[in-house]
Every structure is written in structure tokens, then in C-alpha cells.
Amino acid sequence: MHTRREFLTAAGAGGACAAARPAEAAISRPPREMPPAAVGMLIDSTLCIGCQACVAACRDANGVEVEDTPFALAGWNAARTWDTALDLDGRTLNVIKVWRDGTAEVKDRASDGFAFAKRHCLHCVDPSCVSVCPVSAMRKDPETGIVSYDPDACIGCRYCTYGCPFGVPQFDLAVPAGKINKCEMCRHLQAEGRIPACCDVCPTGASLFGPVAALQEEADRRLAAAAGATTTFPRGDIREDRPRHEGVVPAYLQHTFGETEVGGTQVRYLSAVPFANLGLPTLPDFAPSRLSEGIQHTLYRWLAAPVLAVIGVAFLVRRNRIRQARDTGREL
Amino acid sequence: MAASAERLRAPLITPLTLVLGLLAAVAAYFVVQRFALGLGAVTNINAGYPWGIWVVIDVVIGSAIGCGGFAMALLIYVFNRGEHSPLMRPALLGGLFGYTLAGAAVLIDLGRWWQFYNLVLPWHMNPNSVMLEIGLCVMLYVVVLWLEFSPAILERLGWTGWQRRIDGIMWLLIALGIVLPFMHQSSLGSALIVLGTKIDPVYQTPFLPLLFVTSALAMGWGVVIAEATTVSHSFRRPSEHRLIVRIARVVGWLLLVWVAGRFVGLMVRGALGGVFAGSAAAATFWVETALALFATAVCLSPAWRRSEPLMLLAGLAIILFGALYRFAAYLVAYHPVGSYSYAPSVPELTVTIGIIALEILLYLSFVKLFPVLHATRRAPAQA
Amino acid sequence: MADYAVQLAEALGPDPDAPIRRFGTVTRRQLFRFCAGVAATMGLSQAAGVRMAQAAESPARPPVIWLSGQECTGCTESLLRAYHPSLETLILDLISLDYHYVLCSGAGRQATDHKHKVMDEYRGQYVLVTEGGTPMKDGGIYCKSGGKTHVELVREAAAGAAAVIAIGSCASWGGVQSAGPNPTGAVGTHEVIPGTTVINIPGCPPNPYNFLSTVLHLLTFGRPPALDAENRPRFAYGRLIHENCERRPHFDAGRFALEFGDEGHRQGFCLYKIGCKGPETYANCPAIGFGDVGEGSWPVANGAPCFGCTEKGIGFDKPVHALATLRTQTPPSVYPATDAPKGEGLSPGAAALAAGAAGIAIGAGAMLVRDVGRRDKGGEA
């Protein structure tokens, strides 16, 4: 449930965006287009059974250790049997969280219900992290659109964490020489012709890998299907002929999260409960990096303004210093 | 200018400097710990709040407090108020340590500090990044500040040849010293634009760069007002109040325009409702506005600005206003994704306090070691 | 405990290792041990086991009428194969199985006559057990015995029964012959005799232990055990197979068999992806095994996905390869919540330090302003 204040705040923010849009649009750089061969994921919260197979597979595939959250009982998890990550952090690049309301009786119901949320990088079409990184450690692949990270370039300023609208890139704060940790869509596996580990193991196809265009088509198909009707769901890679499984079409919210948010993302979500419940922020369609880059490049185009400013100010300074010296000299 | 400055003849080591040194030493212990064990062992920053007080207080606020030199240079050399030049070197010295220690704080806070030089490698540079602009600009400005201040050191060392050479390019250094802070102080505001809805609508505006650079300018003058009054009072030197009052008039109008512009901006963006929302961001907004208006009132009222203590209070209010504005924009108005909270840890606070203590300690030591302060008429002028 | 020991010693009598005459070679100690096991299966106390043993030993054994409809005799076979000590002796001596067309020594009219004699003599006291579905279509002509339709036989026997137990999935809700298109209109026993409580012991076949335990409960306490919404005894059908499955750690760790005979299947990984219905089937198979054929032996343990035989609408209805719908009361409590508060609060030490630093700064500022004010006044004076 949203409080009245949250609603008003959201309405205010929306109003603010709407009012300022023409002026902002004028200075903003044009939006970035998704690469034609972009790959992504379709995450259907209603299909997720919360088995966390994707979390385990992700750790395996990316060699990140199981989170060992401190607990009152010393050594309770010495064998690291239990994965206790609470959120994305320096060692967790994929996490299954649960949203509960009231008695949490029925899955995917907004009141007294619950839903599972898979959280990791959404691989924005117009990523803020790539825009803000001073040393180009974050890059967006021109073909696949995967947002990747290069620890050899990174200086650890964590501006990507601060700037990401989804709170995804995380710096490992627990070690002296940490690095940023974020989902790179298992690009090392994709290079071998395999698919991201989470989609590979997902038993229900709740995490589905494939070209974004095909995934959006699949999302549209599910949204168009009548709730309660029987349909089949693909698993693993949407292009592959893996056995589909039969299921009932849930009462989807008629929106694919990530289709338009912050200029679009390559990982998209379907859900039967509000996306905000899944921990996905309510965002405008406008990628904020368009405005910041627009302003920055207007001010610093060819470094003309700063250079001219230095020349102008230098002229004034020189003239005034000579005058002042003369004046002081006279005074003395 | 060189002839009009003298060093303060006072003992280098006093109870105050000992305390400041002790605070800095305690901070150094935690800095060592940070490098040995990692950021998480010392700070409370987390997945939701990647930037804590080391970034916000030590760097963002610290550098703005260091804007005294920049603000005075603008006044003296661009607006041709040569009469203010006695305040130049002290202001420059404040900026020197504000910026140098801000740079040091950045190195402490950088997660992969050993690769910081990537910032200057052209093949790594990302021209879209506001952070790149800030990083390069601050690095350059620290060099410029040291060169700008170097005559004071060279004068003391008696290296007149070098002094003349520096003086020959001083016009360029001063020009850079004015333009560079304009660039990175505005960029410190631009840095928040990309956060979009993560920053409360009360603070988020495309005019953040303008609001940041103008408030930095105001803070610079505020620092000069407070500093000049404090130093002349503490070291029993003649009052500079005559000069301060003139600065006050400028800063008063600047703050008035700033506050009015901010209100208009909020109205245009339809976000004015947010300041009545009862949120933390709204609270800081009103405190900032109150501080700025108080300072404006003192600065623009002919009767009030004649009073030295009121003027000092106004100077402190301006610094507090600018510091709070920065703190609020970066931490209070910032809404992390997820229900994260952040409060600094004891070691984190200790390091920040230690850095401030070190700044004061270095300032006090430098005014005693080098000719910084305006020469009193009784003192014999040094050629 | 002391009370229980005394009670047990008294109940066992002076010579616990002598065979009970009625039970052939079974000694009282063996009977007690068996009943204690039954009590444990049902989650009852040890004292209940003693009471069960005493009830079983009592000469007034309840007569049992066992009717067979559309069935494969699997339930009976399962019962016979129970390997616990002298179970066949016990089932025959524990209760007085007066009519069971497979196990009767007599046949034809002789057997039917005996059935009617018992039904009349023990009216309101006997237990009716039905095995197999009941065809309702065309007047129930698709299953007849002794010239009567099964519908008639069930209704006739149920009228005088103290309790009705439907054994097996067919008797519980129609089972395999009720699957589409259900040519004979097969239904479960409870639909034949609406208004009568029928205890369902579903399973294909059900575990004999669950049946025996229910009977012993009826015997001992004179009422059925606690039942769920499908009228299944809760002690046996209260938990999902998924909850106690020995392959559950593989599910939690994301290790699945993807097809029969693959590496994961050979490694003993979770069978969910190949259609295991454990996550939506309530039964105690993982706890006590299947069909009482030996501990740790049940379909999932042997590499065959559970097909949901104890669950109405799953076994015989849902395709074997179809994914199970995960049934959980509530999401696991250990999962991180989307809105869980995270991050360190302000520690008292940090608060004190910050307040102290701010206090010193404000104090110094105030003193400075005051001093400057004094000098200001002094200067003016």
C-alpha cells in the first residue's frame, strides 16, 4: 500500500518532470538506441518459484563466494551451506528476494499475498553507470548491449553505484583491494556459446534469455493472453527448442517493466503485483544521463568555453594587476 | 603584494596545535586501518549509500570551504577591487589546504586508489563523465593553488629568482585559479543530475551546477569574512572590518538572488509542494533558506554589518548554509534504491575530524612560518 | 516418564515375551513395539501406543467389511506386502476381517451370506473399507458383484457402518478410471454416500502403515484421527513431499535432472524439472517410504519423479512431464525481503562523537563571536 505522502510525492515528481521536460529536452543529448542484436532476459515474477537455483548457479558461474553473513551463533554456517545474501553487494550479483503483504497467503496477489523478485543488472539501453564512470571501466557492448566492467580501469570511486537508478553495481567493501561487482550477463559463458547461468538453470523459465526483440514479443504474447487460460512457457533460451512447460496465464499487470523505463533496459520484468513491490523503483522514461551529458557537453564543447574563459579572465587579471601595482605604487 | 605580508611571530607549538595534532594522529591510525582492511572495516558506507561523509564532508564541502582563494581572486582581479589584496594570501592558504586535503580524502576513499592515475590516461578517459571533469580539474587546481601560494614560501626562503619567475606567470595562474573552481564546483552540482529521481525533487534541478558554483562562491567569501575576523582577533592584529563590509555587500546580494532563484526554479518545475512535504529534504531546505536569509539580512543592513560579531556570525552562517546545502543534496535528499540507511561510524567520523584538525593545524603553522597575513603598519616592510 | 514406565510395566504384564495366543507367535512385547511405532507415525505419545496395544489385544475386535469396486487390488497387495513383524497376522487378528473377496476363505454365496450376517449382527459397529472407484454412469452397471451394482453394495454396507474408510486414490476420488473421458462415470466413495464422513487414505497404492494407523486410531479412540480438507488423516498427509524430500537440498542449490538418464539424474539431483509433483503433493512418503517396502525406498529415491498419486487432480490428471505448482503456505522466512531495512544506524559512540565535535565547533564559534563583540564594544568605547 502506498501512503498518501508517497503518492503525492510521486505525483509531484511526475509533475516536475513534465513541467521541465521541454527545456530539458532542448539541452539533452538524443536517446541511445538499443543495438539490433541486443540480448537480454525476460524475468516473469509469476513464474518464479523462489528455488534460488539461479542464485547458486550465478555464484558457480562467476566464482563469487557464498555470502557469509555474521550471525550470533559462531560457525553456524562454517560449511557455507546457506546463502544468506540479503541484497546485491560486493559478492552477490544476483539475488532472489521476497515481497510479503499481511498474511502472505497467495502468491502474486497484491493484498495478503507474496511475490518473488529477482534482482540484478538490467543492462540499460542508456546506462547511467557507463555515462558516469570517469575511466571507462563500465562499457556497453556495441553489439550485444551487455554492460561490462573492467577492474583494471576502475579507480573505485563508486559513482556507478551512486548513479545507478536500480542500485546495481556494488563495490566489495569487505576486502582491502575490492572491486565493483555486477551482473555481466555471463558474457564469459556467452563467448563459449552458452547462455547466462541463471537462465540455464531456471526450472520454470522465470528467467528467460534471448534477443531483446524476441523476449519483448514473448512478453507481449503473455500480456495479451487471457488470465486463467492455459499456455506454454519457454525455458532457458527463447531461441532454443527446450521443452516448454504448460501453465496458467496469471493476472499480469499490463506493463513490461524495462520496456521504457530510463530509456529502456535489456532485462525486463513481468509481474502480477506492482513492480515497486518487487523493489523495482518507479522511474520516468527519460534516461537522466541524457540531461547530465547534455549539460556537460554544452558547457565543455571542444573545451571552448573554459579556454575562452581562461583567456578572458587572464586578460582582465593582467590588466588589473598592472593597474593595481601602479595605484599601490602611487600610494606608497 | 609580497612586501605587504608578514609572518606571524608566535610559537609554533601551543596547546591548541598539540590537540589538533593528536586528532590528526588518531585519524591517521584509522586511515592505516582502512588501507589494511578495506573500506567496510572502517566506514559505514553500504550498498545503498556508496558515498559517505568522507566524500560529502571532506571533498564536496571541504573543497567549497576552500573556495576563499577563488572568491577573493575574483573580487580582486576581475572586479578590480585591489584594496582587498591583504585578504588574498590568507584566503589562498585556506583554499590550499581545503583542496589538498580534499584530494587526500579522495585517495583514502577511492576503492582502487592504486589505479587513480587512470584518470589522466587519455585512453581511459570518459568525456561524458562529470567525475572525470571534477577529478582532472581538482588535480590541476591543487597544482595551481600551490604555485599561486608559492611566492609566500619562496619569499621566506629568499629564492627571489624563482619568485620572479612565478610572478611572471602569476596572471595565468590567477586566471586558472578563477576558472578551474568555476568548472569543478559547478560540476559537483552536475554530478547529481544523473541521479534523476534518486535525488529529492526539492534538490534535483538542471540548475544544480549554477546553484553549486554560486553557493561555493558565497562560501568562499563567507570563509574570508570569518577567517579575517577570527585571525585579526585571535592574534591581536588590526581589524580588517573595513574590507569585510565591502565583501558583505556582494555576498548579501548573491545569497538573496540565490534563494529567490531557487524558489523560482522549484515553482517552474512544479516541485514547490515538496518543500512543504515534511520530509528530511524539506527540513534541510528551510534551514538552508533561513541561514542564507539571516546572512543576507546582516550583509545588506548597513547598521548590522557595521557590527564585527554580527558579521562574523553571518560569515559562519554562510559557511553553514553552503555546507548544509551540499550535505543535504548528497545525503539527505538522496533516496537509495531499497530501504538503506546510513550513519557514519566512529572511525569514519574520526578521520573526518582529523582531516579538519589537520587543515587548521597546517593553516596555523603556515601563517607562523610564511608571510601570509597582512603586514601591520608597525612592522617594517620587507623588501 | 516415571508414570509412563509404570504404566508400561503394568500393561506388559508379568510375562511380556510369551506369545499372545490370538496372534500366533507374536509376543506382547512385539505387539507393544509395533503399536509404539504406529503411534510415532501418527505423532501420538508413547502412552497412546500402549493404549493401542491394549485395544488391539482386546477380544472385542471390530469387524471389517472390505468392498472392492473398480480396482486393481493394488491396495490389498500393498497391505499384504507390509513386512513389519507378522503384519498379515495382525491385520487379520487385530481386526476381524469378515469380508474381503480376495482374502476370504469362502467364496460366492457363502462369503456374501457371511457378510450380511456380520452386517446385521454388528450393525453400527463394523468398519467399512472401500477399495476402488464406483461407476455411476448408466445406473452403475459397469461394476457388479453378486448381481448387485457396486453403488448399491456401498450404500447398503455404509448404512450400518461405524466408520467408512476409502483406501487408495480410486476409492478416494475415482482414481485412474475417473481420468478424462471417464467412460464409466467413476467417482470416489464419498460421492456415493453423501453426508457420511469417509476417511480417505489416497495413494496408488497407499502406504499400509497409514491405513493401519487410522484403523488403530479408530479402535483406540473411537473416532477418526484429525482430517484435512480432503478428509485425509493429517498425520500422514499434513506435509508436502517437497518439504521432507531427501533431494530437497539439490532443489535449494539449483541442481536439477534435466532429462531421464542424464548426468544430473544419475547424480541424484532434484527431479522437479522432469515433472516431479512433490511440491504440490501431500504425503509422508519421504518420511516412511512408499508401500512399506523398506526404509528410504520410494519413487523419488529411486529416481522416478513423484506423480502426485495422493493428490486429487494431480495424479492421473496432470501430465507426468508437467511442472508442479509450488504449494507453500507462505514464502520462506529466511528469504531477504524486498523492503528489508539495511545499513548501520547511528551508534551511540558515533552520535556522541558527532555531537561533541559539533558542540565544540558551536562553542568555539559562540566564544569567538562573544570575544569579537567585546573587542568591538571596547574599540568603540
Nearest to A208 by CA among A237, A247, A244: A237
8 Å CB contact between C136 and C186: yes
pLDDT class for A3, splitting at 50, 70, 90? Answer: very low
- The three state secondary structure string of A117-131 is EEECCCCECCCHHHH
Distance CA A267, CA C220 (A): 61
Higher pLDDT: C380 or C360? It is C360
| CATH class of domain segment(s) A32-286 | alpha beta
- The yes-or-no verdict on residue B219 having pLDDT over 90 is yes
Q: Which three cell numbers stand for residue A112?
A: 495478503
Contacts of C377 (CB under 8 A, 6+ apart): none
Q: Hey, is the C-beta of A331 within 8 angstroms of any chain B C-beta?
A: no
Q: What is the pLDDT of residue B307?
A: 87
Beta pairing partners, C97:
C64
Residue C103 pLDDT class (50, 70, 90 cuts): confident
pTM, two decimals, is 0.81
Q: Does A20 touch chain B (CB under 8 A)?
A: yes
B118: chain A residues, CB-CB within 8 Å: 135, 153-155
Q: What is the DSSP string of A253-283?
A: -S--BTSSGGG-BSEEEE-SS-GGGGTPPP-
Joined grid coordinates for residue C123: 450393525
* Nearest Cα to Cα of residue A118 among A62, A46, A219, A181: A46
Inter-chain touch A85–C272, beta carbons under 8 Å: no
Yes or no, beta carbons of C279 and A49 under 8 Å apart: yes
Long-range contacts of C108-111 (CB under 8 A, 24+ apart): C109/C146
Question: By the CB < 8 Å criterion, does A162 face chain B?
Answer: yes
Alpha-carbon span A248 to B59, nearest angstrom: 55
Side chain identity at residue B361, one-letter code:
L
What is the DSSP annotation of C346-365? Answer: --HHHHHHHHHHHHHHHHHH
Residue A280's φ and ψ, nearest 5 degrees, are: -95, 120
Q: Annotate B344-381 with b (16+ C-beta within 10 A) or e (fewer).
A: bbbbbbbbbbbbbbbbbbbbbebbbebbbbbbeeeeee
The answer to which of A18-22, A118-122, B222-226, C40-44 has the lowest mean pLDDT is: A18-22
Predicted confidence at residue A7, as pLDDT, reads 44
Which residues are C149's β-sheet partners?
C144
> CB within 8 A of C164, min separation 6: which ones?
C127, C128, C129, C130, C158, C189, C193, C196, C197, C198, C199
- Tell me the three cell numbers of residue A198: 541463471
In this predicted structure, what is the pLDDT of residue B383? 32
**For residue A114, what is the nearest residue in chain C, using CA coordinates?**
C331
What integer pLDDT is reported at residue B46 of this predicted model?
A: 92
How far is the first Cα of chain C from the last one, in angstroms, to the nearest whole number?
97
Write down the domain spans for chain C.
1-59, 61-236, 239-330
Are A66 and A209 spatial neighbours (Cβ–Cβ below 8 Å)? no
Which of the residue ranges B16-20, B338-342, C36-40, C155-159 would you say has the lowest mean pLDDT? C36-40
What per-residue string of b and e applies to C266-282 under the rule 16 or more CB within 10 Å gives b? eeebbbbbbbbbbbbbb
The predicted model gives B30-52 an average pLDDT of: 94
Asked if B112 lies within 8 A of A151 by C-beta distance, the reply is: yes
- Span of A88-102, B70-84, C345-359 with lowest mean pLDDT: B70-84
ipTM of the complex: 0.91
Tell me the C-alpha distance between B218 and B254, whole Å.
7
C-beta atoms of C256 and A117 within 8 A: no
Q: Which residues pair with C215 in a beta bridge?
A: none
Rounded CA-CA distance A115/C365 in Å is 55
Query: The C-alpha cell of C342 is what?
Result: 539495511
> How sure is the predictor about C380, in pLDDT bands with cuts at 50, 70 and 90?
very low
Phi and psi dihedrals of C202, rounded to 5?
A: -70, 170
Least CB–CB distance from B194: residue in A90, A178, A289: A289
| Fold held by C61-236 | Rossmann fold (3.40.50)
Q: What is the pLDDT of residues C328-356, one digit of tens each?
A: 767 777 788 888 888 888 899 999 999 99
Residue owning grid cell 468398519? C127
Task: Read off the C-alpha cell for A142.
Answer: 556495441
Count of C-beta atoms within a 10 Å radius of residue B274: 25
Q: Which one has a higher pLDDT value, C310 or C249?
A: C310
In a 10 Å sphere around its CB, with 0-12 CB exposed, 13-18 middle and 19+ buried, how is residue B235 labelled? middle
Measured between alpha carbons, how far is A226 from A205 in angstroms, rounded to an integer? Answer: 19
CA-nearest residue to C362 within chain B is B316
Any residues with CB less than 8 A from the CB of C167 and at least 6 apart, and which? C75, C129, C130, C131, C201, C206, C211
Q: Tell me which chain B residue has its CA closest to the CA of residue A158.
A: B50
A233/chain B closest Cα distance in angstroms: 31
C-alpha distance from B261 to closest chain A C-alpha (Å): 15
User: Is C376's Cβ below 8 Å from some Cβ in B?
Assistant: yes
Residue B254 Ramachandran class (φ > 0 left, ψ -120 to 50 alpha, else beta): alpha
Q: What are phi and psi of C74, to 5 degrees?
A: -60, -40
Give me the amino acid identity at A277: N
Query: What stretch of H or E contains A181?
Result: strand A180-181
pLDDT of residue B1: 42
What is the spatial distance between Cα A17 and Cα A13, in angstroms, rounded to a whole number?
6
Kindly calculate the radius of gyration of chain C based on its CA atoms and give it in whole angstroms: 32
Rounded to whole angstroms, how far apart are CA atoms B182 and B207?
A: 14
Average pLDDT in the C79-106 region?
Answer: 70
Distance from CA of A50 to the nearest CA of C (A): 8
Return the higher-pLDDT residue of C222 and C192: C192
Alpha-carbon gap, residue A9 to B258, rounded angstroms: 25
**Unique residue bearing C-alpha cell 504440490:** C280
First to last CA, chain A: 76
Task: Write the single-letter amino acid at B324.
Answer: L
Q: Where are the alpha helices (DSSP H) in chain B?
A: 15-37, 39-42, 53, 62-65, 68-73, 88-109, 130-157, 160-168, 170-190, 208-234, 241-268, 280-300, 308-327, 346-369
CA B178 to chain centre: 14
Nearest CA in chain A to C251: A51
Q: Up-side HSE of residue C273: CA atoms within 13 Å toward CB?
A: 31
Q: What is the CATH number of domain C239-330?
A: 4.10.480.10
Domain ranges of chain B: 1-191+343-372, 195-340
- Name the band, by pLDDT with cuts 50, 70 and 90, for residue A74: low
Closest alpha carbon within chain A to C328? A105
Could you tell me the pLDDT band of residue B3, with boundaries at 50, 70 and 90? Answer: very low
Place of cell 542500485: A167
Question: What does the alpha-carbon distance between residue C123 and residue C160 come to, in Å, rounded to a whole number?
Answer: 5
CB of A262 closer than 8 Å to CB of A286: yes
